[in-house]
């Protein structure tokens, strides 16, 4: 054990294990998670060469091998709870995406949601046994989340009772679905349904992706990360499938071609909301891993000097290093707690939905969209800050940070592009604002908009006495709330002003989009601060409560400093208070310093899961970096063949 | 040609070619650059398979091949001007780092600067002919830029007139130098000189990196980018080199071991300043490439809807997309102009230095450090914004954006870690501030600090009438200047306050580091805005002047919006003015919209240099993406071997 990191742990003021239980959701959950992790870690079938040293094809191969083992073992151990499956899977693949992801997370669930009982027989059982390996093909080369834009056609032919599937243009080629390139033999294809001379919008059809003339399928080539996944393309040319291959639990096409509409569009809402909520937790997870690596490394890395003549200090003693890492550590905690909250709300609302009560769904939908964008953007930036805070070694693949980044940053784009997500949340906010302005009493998370008309008159802003106490978290939550209210109002007014210029509603919206994103952002920021503060109320242990309170305050104050213009502009803070915020932030950094390593230890990532030389629990970074480097494929031979091929002949010519 | 992109070009209001000449520094330079580019592009020896489809060892191999060809052809064509060599090299390697970089950019120049005439004979001529291939080994596993921290020792043994080189600890192993792993057979090694029982600080020694027992050398393994380079490690164990292998143009060790100091430490300053200045231009370059890709793609990509029922709009019509890309486009122009300026200043000051006048060097040193950090941070973030603005396809390696990012972002760390750089600039600013406070009249770029004491009394700030005109660039330059002055003052006062707590000077510095970085940042921002505005004065053509003025205004106003807290806090802007800024920004985005494609065309990156399917000049993105994907190595076989190895057996077991 590195003595620096040992000393850090001795200086901690709280019980790390207790905080781990809080993060896991209880002592029993911690125990079970550790059991599952050790099942994987101790399993010789999951030992493999470092992926960093393999070619993409080898990485794909290694991933398929692990995925196949994983399916067998999950059944062998009888692990069937979705959360436990997820935990096992994350551990097997170290958090990376894998070739069967779409089969497990989209193909099977879509069958469960959309297949009729007969179709369940035809597809689900074989899919469960991996005879059918499926993917979910929505995105096309020229079209993303906008369903109406999809160009793939499914034209019903009553003569043969078949659908004829086509990719009529180059932009209509299905593009990106994971597992489509090589792994799958089937796909659920979203296509525009044409029957009886009319287009009825998108439907789900199940297609066998065999490589006949009529189906062109393959891998879309290397990407930024995701080397283990065969994201693929699919070009359909007059592919005929039986009528029964359209998933018909809700929408139907009868034998004669008559189209029967689904009863409610909201039924397909749920999965999307669930996945976005999951991503919020993943943002906390990715940032927590990155902070673990950067903070442990900062405690064993010595560099330059603060006081001349003294030994090189731990880099964590530099105020600038603390300012980079500790707010991110606070953010990781915040997002983990928000992830827990979203998970709880989702399960509660799912209960309501199954009883036919959709009332809370729009709010959850709006919240999950905005929070997905808010958390993935900041977490992605944060991962890179952590990586760069490790100096040169952060660029080495052995740090694991490049991998965490490339595998996480895609969440900014998939499952709803972030700007689109922010604008969806803004639509809900503006609608709520307009309802409040019209005198309706709002409930739920947007209830603060009830007060906005009354309290936030422009003329009153500057004269209203500033009441924010920068040392009181509850007061800061209030400030974030008022900032959100003000920015929603600014966006709404921008739309009104545009409308006064006689532009259409749609153009007014687009011409106010910057303000709308800003409002959503402020709304999400408020929600995060509020939920972090609320979490503190659940924590009994004094030591843990104290350190988490410091983190929460740091999170709130740093957000104010970074967005100080908003808080000044709305009159929520005065200029002298902002100087107080700066001063207080510095104090909080110093206050957190002794607990920094313990706070990342509490995330409880074992070395096998982190897979980072810089983030090792024992802090013995350099010996292991040297050992890792010696295994680099370029070191297999003393002289690389390129020397004989190119450099030696060059020397002869010069 | 894609009709969308053709229409964009038709709508441009200025002469693209004229702007290209300005960016190149004159019509002749444009001509010569294009000549050099076409030499490479038309050369069959430089055609190669897409690097994205190769393994790392194959990529290294391909790069060595190209580098060897490059050396031959440069001599064949008689290209010897450093700028032209750089242009040719960038074109051969498409802007990527390559295995001979350190040989050409560090080994040869260090010999030129540090070798005695005899050593030039011994080393330079063979190195020129590539019999010696060298690298520059400073960084150690545990030590970066802080020279005093280096642990490698060179102990002089007068008995044999040799130096004995050692890596006494694991942390002293040389780590990271490019080309050290495989390509080089020699290295200039920085080591602590011990002679006559004393340590005399670091010296340069030339070492043959043969793989005897006493030298352990190899590749440090895969990194985030830089697949073509064999960054290496070097562990020295009692390696004996003749006394004459210490580079002795300045510092010397005589036969008996007497150490002779170099005449001036400033002589080694120059290269560092030059490289940092170059990096500023590279920041403009990387961002310009990224903007070219993202803006061209945004003009041919259609998605979702603004107005219901109408065809999907070009994504560049979304205000949010404009807000992402156009300020970055303005930034790319700004950094290109700052790069030109730094280059000019460097050459002017180099002239002075050769005449013994070092007076301007500290200012240039401080400026190049801060600007290197300021521009590389924002450009790195900007590249990722461009990439994500391309949606899913930005993640494909065929977009080239992942490559641009991983190859550029390292500039934040190498040649001086950015935070360290910012603090170096801050040291100059604080020193200047203290001189001004003591009544000295400052000249040069920091002369604004002369006024700070007088004009920026805290009590006067809020009462001083706000004079900034948000539509006038000169007025905005003034506002940036006053912001910098204020933030330098805030940092200086923080140090004073810390000193009053009776902490040491060094601790006061560290406890104010956040403020110091903030001050440097504001200073650099001011310099960039100022230089952009100054550049406008050189431009005669009305059309070009007009569009560049719009860009400069956009750059300045967006910086104000993003840092609105600073401008409000210092009383430079009022709250109503900030709303004006927001409004004006939206107008500027709309105003730039018709010129966006032409503005990236003016950067004049030919398709071969961009190497991006999304950034193609003809806008025919989708057909070429499909064609590219089909060449993916995973598509070489219809069924991947992993199916037979793992999935088929799994199906049998379930």
Phi, psi of B308 (to 5 degrees): -60, 140
Q: Distance (Å) from the C-alpha of residue B217 to the closest C-alpha of chain A?
A: 9
Count of residues in chain A: 654
Side by side, which strands form the sheet with A232-236? A174-175, A232-236, A215-219
* Helix, coil or strand: residue B177: coil
Q: In Å, what is the CA distance from B315 to each residue of A513, B4, B306, B330, B396?
A: 13, 12, 10, 19, 19
For residue B632, give the nearest of A550, A283, A221 by alpha carbon. Answer: A221
Cβ contact (<8 Å) for B182 and A53? no
**pLDDT tens string A633-653:** 999 999 999 999 999 999 999
pLDDT of B604 above 50: yes
pLDDT of B265 above 70: no
User: Annotated catalytic residue: which of B151, B228, B415, B498?
Assistant: B415
Q: Return the pLDDT at B546.
A: 98
CA distance B566 to B573: 9
How much is the average pLDDT of B175-184? 96
Cβ contact (<8 Å) for B302 and A142? yes
Phi-psi region of A455 (alpha: psi -120 to 50; beta: other; left: phi over 0): alpha
Q: Return the pLDDT at B270.
A: 73
> What tokens were used for B561?
């919006």
Is residue A53 within 8 A of residue A632, CB to CB? The reply is yes
pLDDT of B461 above 50: no
pLDDT of A460 above 60: no
CA distance A468 to A445: 21
Cβ contact (<8 Å) for A392 and B176? yes
- Nearest chain B alpha carbon to A381: B381
Handedness of CA B586, B588, B590, B595 (dihedral sign): negative
Lowest mean pLDDT among A543-557, A616-630, B195-209, B396-410: B195-209
> What tokens were used for A416?
């709803």
Residue A186 is classified by DSSP as E
Q: Of A221, A303, A633, which is closest to B146 when you measure between CB atoms?
A: A303
For residue B32, give the nearest of B86, B69, B105, B103 by alpha carbon. Answer: B86
B415 is catalytic: yes
Higher pLDDT, B424 or A309: B424
pLDDT of B436 above 50: yes
In the block, residue with structure tokens 């106010």: A512
CA distance A519 to A489: 8
> What tokens were used for A258?
């008559």
Count of residues in chain B: 654
Cβ contact (<8 Å) for A394 and B412? no
Cβ contact (<8 Å) for A319 and B650? no
* Helix, coil or strand: residue B236: strand
Cβ contact (<8 Å) for A625 and B323? no
Question: Burial code of B629-642, b = ≥16 C-beta within 10 A, e = fewer?
Answer: beebbbbeeeebeb
Local confidence band at B402 (pLDDT 50, 70, 90 cut-offs): very high
For residue B96, give the nearest of B351, B445, B406, B323 by alpha carbon. Answer: B406
| Residue of A45, A55, A57 best to disrupt the B interface, most CBs of B under 10 A | A57
Chain B environment of A149 (Cβ under 8 Å): 302-304, 312
Cβ contact (<8 Å) for A130 and B650? yes
Chain B environment of A625 (Cβ under 8 Å): 141
CA distance A275 to A105: 9
CA distance A236 to B81: 55
Q: Please give the annotated binding residues of A for FAD, written as ranges.
A: 139, 178
> What tokens were used for B442?
């400052």
pLDDT of A270 above 80: no
Q: Distance (Å) from the C-alpha of residue B436 to the closest C-alpha of chain A?
A: 24
In the block, residue with structure tokens 């130098």: B177
Is residue B106 within 8 A of residue B183, CB to CB? The reply is no
Is residue B484 within 8 A of residue B518, CB to CB? The reply is no
CA distance B227 to A248: 50
pLDDT of A96 above 70: yes
Local confidence band at B210 (pLDDT 50, 70, 90 cut-offs): low
pLDDT of A322 above 60: yes
Chain A environment of B647 (Cβ under 8 Å): 64, 68, 130, 133, 183
pLDDT of B147 above 90: no
Higher pLDDT, B471 or B459: B471
Residue A491's contacts (CB-CB under 8 Å, 6 or more residues apart) are: A426, A429, A430, A512, A515, A516, A518, A519
User: Annotated catalytic residue: which of A8, A140, A282, A415?
Assistant: A415
For residue A542, give the nearest of A22, A17, A26, A13 by alpha carbon. Answer: A13
**pLDDT tens string B527-581:** 999 999 999 999 999 999 999 999 999 999 999 999 999 999 989 999 999 999 9
Is residue B115 within 8 A of residue B247, CB to CB? The reply is yes
Q: Of A223, A320, A396, which is closest to B514 when you measure between CB atoms?
A: A320
DSSP string, A22-69: HHHTSHHHHHHHHHHHHHHHT-GGG----GGGS-HHHHHHHHHHHHHH
Cβ contact (<8 Å) for B182 and A640? yes
Q: In Å, what is the CA distance from B461 to each residue of A463, A569, B448, B467, B486?
A: 19, 17, 17, 12, 10
CA atoms within 13 A on the CB side of B269: 20
Local confidence band at B462 (pLDDT 50, 70, 90 cut-offs): very low
pLDDT of A463 above 50: no
Q: Distance (Å) from the C-alpha of residue A358 to the closest C-alpha of chain B?
A: 27
Handedness of CA B78, B84, B87, B90 (dihedral sign): positive
Q: Distance (Å) from the C-alpha of residue B622 to the closest C-alpha of chain A?
A: 7
Instruction: Calculate the average pLDDT of chain B.
Output: 93
Higher pLDDT, A346 or A69: A69
Q: Of A224, A575, A586, which is closest to B514 when you measure between CB atoms?
A: A586
> What tokens were used for A348?
């509660």
**pLDDT tens string B78-125:** 999 989 999 999 999 999 999 999 999 999 999 998 899 999 999 999
Is residue A517 within 8 A of residue A546, CB to CB? The reply is no
Q: Return the pLDDT at B208.
A: 73
| Residue of B97, B323, B629, B643 best to disrupt the A interface, most CBs of A under 10 A | B629
Residue B494's contacts (CB-CB under 8 Å, 6 or more residues apart) are: B511, B512, B515
CA distance A635 to B352: 47
CA distance B175 to B151: 12
Q: How many CB pairs under 8 A join A and B?
A: 373
- Nearest chain B alpha carbon to A316: B510
Is residue B145 within 8 A of residue B416, CB to CB? The reply is yes
Phi, psi of B199 (to 5 degrees): -100, 130
Local confidence band at B460 (pLDDT 50, 70, 90 cut-offs): very low
How much is the average pLDDT of B501-516? 96
| Residue of A49, A58, A222 best to disrupt the B interface, most CBs of B under 10 A | A222
CA distance B197 to B200: 10
In the block, residue with structure tokens 């890596």: B167
* Helix, coil or strand: residue A463: helix
pLDDT of B475 above 60: yes
Phi, psi of B592 (to 5 degrees): -80, -25
Q: Return the pLDDT at B392.
A: 96
In the block, residue with structure tokens 């080199």: B241
Local confidence band at A454 (pLDDT 50, 70, 90 cut-offs): low
DSSP string, B308-337: TTSPPPBGGGSHHHHHHHHHHHHHHHHHHH
**pLDDT tens string A185-232:** 999 999 999 999 999 988 888 777 655 667 899 999 999 999 999 999
Q: Distance (Å) from the C-alpha of residue B540 to the closest C-alpha of chain A?
A: 34
Q: Return the pLDDT at A462.
A: 46
Local confidence band at B352 (pLDDT 50, 70, 90 cut-offs): confident
Residue B605 is classified by DSSP as -
Instruction: Calculate the average pLDDT of chain A.
Output: 93
Local confidence band at A147 (pLDDT 50, 70, 90 cut-offs): confident
For residue A133, give the nearest of A174, A99, A98, A169 by alpha carbon. Answer: A99
Terminal C-alpha separation, chain B: 53
CA distance B63 to B179: 12
Cβ contact (<8 Å) for A629 and B218? yes
Residue A373 is classified by DSSP as H
CA distance B47 to A552: 56
Residue B535's contacts (CB-CB under 8 Å, 6 or more residues apart) are: B337, B548, B552
Chain B environment of A388 (Cβ under 8 Å): 409, 412-413, 418
Local confidence band at B452 (pLDDT 50, 70, 90 cut-offs): low
What percentage of chain B reaches a pLDDT higher than 70? 96
Q: Distance (Å) from the C-alpha of residue B423 to the closest C-alpha of chain A?
A: 10
Whole-prediction pTM: 0.97
pLDDT of A266 above 80: no
CA distance B317 to B487: 38
Lowest mean pLDDT among A415-419, B255-259, B354-358: B354-358
Residue A84's contacts (CB-CB under 8 Å, 6 or more residues apart) are: A32, A36
ipTM of the complex: 0.96
CA distance A545 to A516: 36
Cβ contact (<8 Å) for A395 and B412? no
Question: Which runs of E-coded beta strand occur in B497-652?
Answer: none
């Amino acid at each position: 054990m590195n003595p620096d990191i040992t000393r850090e742990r001795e200086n901690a003021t709280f019980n790390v294990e207790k905080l781990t239980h809080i993060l896991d959701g209880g002592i029993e959950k911690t125990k079970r998670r550790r059991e599952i992790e050790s099942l994987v870690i101790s399993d010789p079938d999951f030992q493999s060469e470092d992926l960093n040293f393999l070619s993409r094809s080898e990485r794909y191969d290694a991933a398929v091998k692990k995925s196949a083992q994983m399916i067998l073992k999950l059944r062998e151990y009888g692990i069937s709870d979705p959360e436990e499956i997820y935990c096992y899977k994350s551990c097997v693949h170290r958090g990376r995406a894998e070739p069967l992801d779409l089969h497990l997370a989209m193909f099977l669930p879509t069958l469960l949601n959309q297949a009729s009982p007969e179709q369940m027989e035809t597809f689900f059982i074989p899919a469960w046994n991996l005879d059918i390996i499926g993917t979910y093909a929505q995105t096309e080369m020229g079209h993303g989340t906008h369903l109406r834009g999809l160009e793939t056609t499914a034209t019903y032919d009553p003569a043969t009772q078949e659908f004829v599937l086509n990719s009529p243009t180059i932009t209509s080629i299905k593009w990106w679905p994971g597992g489509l390139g090589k792994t799958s033999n089937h796909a659920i294809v979203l296509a525009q349904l044409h029957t009886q001379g009319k287009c009825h919008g998108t439907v789900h059809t199940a297609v066998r992706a065999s490589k006949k003339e009529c189906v062109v399928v393959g891998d879309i080539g290397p990407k930024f990360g995701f080397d283990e996944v065969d994201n693929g393309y699919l070009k359909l040319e007059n592919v005929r499938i039986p009528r029964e291959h359209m998933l018909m639990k809700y929408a139907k096409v009868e034998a004669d071609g008559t189209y029967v509409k689904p009863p409610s569009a909201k039924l397909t809402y749920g999965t999307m909301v669930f996945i976005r909520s999951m991503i919020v937790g993943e943002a906390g997870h990715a940032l927590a891993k990155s902070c673990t690596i950067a903070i442990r490394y900062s405690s064993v890395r010595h560099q330059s000097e603060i006081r001349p003549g003294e030994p090189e200090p731990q880099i964590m003693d530099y105020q600038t290093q603390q300012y980079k890492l500790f707010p991110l550590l606070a953010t990781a905690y915040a997002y983990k707690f928000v992830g827990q909250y979203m998970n709880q709300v989702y399960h509660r609302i799912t209960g309501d939905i199954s009883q036919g009560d959709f009332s809370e769904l729009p709010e959850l939908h709006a919240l999950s969209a905005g929070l997905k964008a808010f958390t993935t953007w900041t977490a992605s930036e944060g991962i890179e800050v952590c990586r760069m805070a490790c100096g040169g070694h952060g660029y080495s693949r052995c740090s694991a940070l490049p991998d965490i980044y490339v595998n996480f940053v895609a969440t900014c784009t998939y499952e709803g592009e972030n700007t689109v997500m922010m604008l969806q949340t803004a639509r809900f906010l503006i609608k709520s604002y307009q309802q409040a302005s019209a005198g309706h009493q709002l409930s739920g998370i947007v209830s603060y908009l009830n007060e906005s008309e009354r309290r936030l008159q422009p003329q009153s802003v500057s004269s209203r006495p500033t009441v924010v106490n920068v040392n009181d978290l509850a007061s800061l939550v209030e400030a974030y709330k008022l900032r959100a209210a003000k920015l929603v109002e600014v966006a709404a007014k921008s739309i009104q002003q545009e409308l006064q210029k006689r532009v259409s509603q749609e153009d007014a919206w687009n011409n106010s989009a910057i303000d709308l994103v800003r409002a959503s952002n402020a709304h999400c920021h408020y929600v995060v601060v509020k939920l972090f503060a609320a979490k503190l109320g659940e924590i009994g242990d004094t030591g843990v409560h104290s350190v988490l309170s410091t983190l929460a305050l740091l999170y709130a104050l740093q957000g104010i400093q970074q967005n100080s213009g908003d808080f000044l502009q709305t009159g929520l803070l005065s200029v002298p208070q902002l100087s107080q915020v700066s001063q207080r932030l510095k104090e909080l950094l110093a206050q957190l310093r002794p607990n920094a390593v313990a706070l990342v230890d509490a995330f409880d990532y074992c070395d096998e899961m982190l897979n980072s030389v810089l983030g090792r629990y024992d802090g013995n970074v350099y010996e292991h970096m040297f050992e890792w480097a010696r295994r680099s494929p370029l070191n297999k031979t003393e002289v690389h063949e390129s020397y004989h091929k190119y450099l030696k002949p060059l020397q002869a010519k010069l």
